[in-house]
Amino acid sequence: MTQTPVPVRRALISVSDKTGLLDLARALIAHGAEILSTGGSARALREAGLKVTEVSDHTGFPEILDGRVKTLVPQIHGGILGRRDLPAHVAQMEQHGIAPIDLIAVNLYPFEATVASGAGAEDCIENIDIGGPALIRAASKNHDHVVVLTDPAQYGAIIAALSEGGTTLEARRALAGAAYARTAAYDAAIAAWFAAQRGDVLPERLTVAGQRRESLRYGENPHQQAAFYADGSNRPGVATARQIQGKALSYNNLNDTDAAFEAVAEFDAPAVVIVKHANPCGIATADSLSAAWDLALRCDPVSAFGGIVALNRTLDAEAAARIAAIFTEVIVAPDATDEAREILSRKKNLRLLLTGALPDPAEGGVIIRSVAGGFLAQTRDNGRIVPAELKVVTQRAPTEAEMADLIFAFRVCKHVKSNAIIYAKDQATVGIGAGQMSRVDSARIAAIKGADASRAAGLDQPLTAGSVVASDAFFPFADGLEAAIAAGATAVIQPGGSIRDDEVIAAADRAGIAMVFTGMRHFRH
């Protein structure tokens, strides 16, 4: 096909989002195009003093069924789909009085926004657009001859093209691809809504759609391409956050920030989470954010350098000053005081993200991960143990303080890569072992981290002395537990379920420590 610009002689405009509408229409009219329109779009054009022809006047067929049928007629679809280079098409169009339509500007009924607003089923169904997707798909198919606009952001380039005589095939093809992506995402949202209505979390056909929020410099490594997409769920976090300061976020920054913010949302008391390479290196709760920061940092001050910090309260000046004292890549919180923002503004490269809210750890949702030839989907790990349902399996039961720390530590487990071992004391981590192939190695590494932190703090004994320990899955042998006992743990929480549970329980009893089973594990791979 030729790249000679093709002029627009007739355009159909039917948009729910009126942004840029008048600028587009004025440019079309200025370059000799006739405007066809419907409903609110036609009214807006007339009120602006622009000449517009109602679609019903053009077709001779009225809008019916409360506006459900407006453009689903041969005079419209024939004008869009007819090929100008086929004599048979041209002859049939002339025979039936069908005028060519060279451009359509359509954006769809706000179905996604209606669902997000919590509207009832009837309102959601009424906001399922039928005519719009049909118009978009028809124009996209015939993009050799027709321009299809689905987003006000596209108008500027087309207005400029009109001044140059019309659009090129290359431009029309790009717009057609974007249009099909839009209708695919729209249908995906509708399919997801119907699945949710019947409680089908993982339906037979799972459609995934996202809106590119940002093109990233690169992925995990400089030779990888990457982009950040929003799925429209509006779960508080990196997709909803406002970046107050700092340079652009990288792929790794976004991944780590998400991990940190999801973890900090687990806790009701003021909490701080420090993450490095998607794993927490310190988590603590306290009476204030500054106190929680001190405890979280104490767990692993070496790894915290260049880390991601998440808070579950409005960031105040005292906490901001303490965090700013070390190199930090990102701070994410629901909000920040003016004083805290001023303090952090002195750190030009530090990114500050404010989300406005915390995600709900109990909320469902689907997690997707790609594999060769497909992808895996699972529901979000929103499991949370019920203290009254914990099973004490040793001769000694945990004390009240130990039980509180055990519950804290097991919540931390959910956010640490398996095999995960967490030492905790006084609602703060004092040793974290993550991502090891052997559970006993995780127990030993966590103890080493605790010993290193103790030396850094100038303490006479390891932080892990008198701590509790949590394991994200059962101990397959007693050796992992014995490593925790050697580190000074006095109580253990684990799912249980190993064929060697009796051996592990016996080892705990010999050491005089308490152990509880949760019946729930928190693998995170």
- Residues labelled as active-site residues: 141, 277
Residue 107: which residues within 8 A CB-CB, separation 6 or more? 15, 16, 17, 132, 150, 151, 152
On whether the CB atoms of residues 256 and 331 are closer than 8 A, the answer is: no
On whether the CB atoms of residues 167 and 147 are closer than 8 A, the answer is: yes
Residue 211: how many CA atoms within 13 Å on its side-chain side?
Answer: 14
* Cα→Cα distances 161→5, 31, 104, Å: 8, 11, 15
* Cα→Cα distances 340→293, 317, 333, 440, Å: 15, 4, 12, 42
Q: Which element (helix H / strand E) includes 216? A: strand 211-216
> Checking phi first, is residue 123 left (phi over 0); if not, alpha (psi -120 to 50) or beta?
alpha
3-state secondary structure of 100: coil
The residue count of the chain comes to: 525
On whether the CB atoms of residues 266 and 414 are closer than 8 A, the answer is: yes
Per-residue b or e along 419-455, where b marks 16 or more CB atoms closer than 10 Å to that residue's CB: bbbbbbbebbbbbbbbbbeebbbbbbbbbebbbbbbe
**Which residue stretches of 300-387 are H helix?**
317-324, 338-344
DSSP conformational letter for 416: S
Distance CA 280, CA 299 (A): 10
Tokens for 261, please give them.
């913010």
Residue 67: count other Cβ atoms within 10 Å of its Cβ. Answer: 10
On whether the CB atoms of residues 486 and 510 are closer than 8 A, the answer is: no
CA-based nearest residue to 352, from 364, 360, 343: 343
Q: Are strands 10-15 and 103-107 parallel, antiparallel or unpaired?
A: parallel
